[in-house]
Amino acid sequence: MPIRPVPLAIMVAAGIAGTALTLTLPRSESAQAAALPAPPPEAVKPTGRQVAVLAGGCFWGMEGVFEHVRGVVSVTSGYAGGDRAKANYDAVSSETTGHAEAVRIVYDPAKVTYGQLLQVYFGVAHDPTQVNGQYPDRGPSYRSAIFPQNDAQRQLAAAYIAALGKAHSFDKPIATKIENGTFFPAESWHQDFMRRNPGNGYIQRWDAPKVAALKTRFPQFYVG
């Protein structure tokens, strides 16, 4: 079974039993702004459950963050941007398949908008200034990418990226790309990984601080 690489210092600090850590992301690692502009309004508000597909590093953390967003019905970890035949962890980890680790978010647009999901995505779920990687994970499968599910999402995502750039919301250029690609669910052992393994060293070091940041920076979106 493939194992997510964890820095040796983190494994030592966490201990064999996976003792919880209390580390937070330093500014040099997060590169996140203190505030983000509001997302552009949606021209036509959709009705019924909608789907968003977002990639931003390890899908464990992305999934864990969006599971705590009000109006989100479900989150599934998986792969987007490559073909079905190679949409598995072993192949994607080779960094040759074109996939990105991504999450499929089913949400209720009456409770949370696509723009608000993007606000969380850029604000706390990952660092959109990192190119082909997030924190200790390097390679194009960990890239920052948005996979719009319709033209309205594509236009809104492009407009919001432009607004973030105009507002100088980050101290580095935004690396996030808008891409095409089908989403394929990941293996079952990846699903709900943060919820099922809260004491995991990788989760505590890199992902738990994102959930804490969601609660602090976007309390209007947070649900326990």
Output the DSSP codes for 146-205.
EE-SSHHHHHHHHHHHHHHHHTT-SSS----EE----EEEPPGGGTTHHHH-TT-HHIII
**Residue 105 catalytic?**
no
Close Cβ partners of 218 (under 8 Å, ≥ 6 residues apart)? 119, 120, 123, 124
Please state, in angstroms and rounded to a whole number, the distance separating the CA atoms of residues 67 and 216. Answer: 16
20, 204 Cβ separation under 8 angstroms = yes
Please state, in angstroms and rounded to a whole number, the distance separating the CA atoms of residues 22 and 67. Answer: 21
| Catalytic residue selected from 36, 55, 58, 211 | 58
**Active-site residue list:** 58
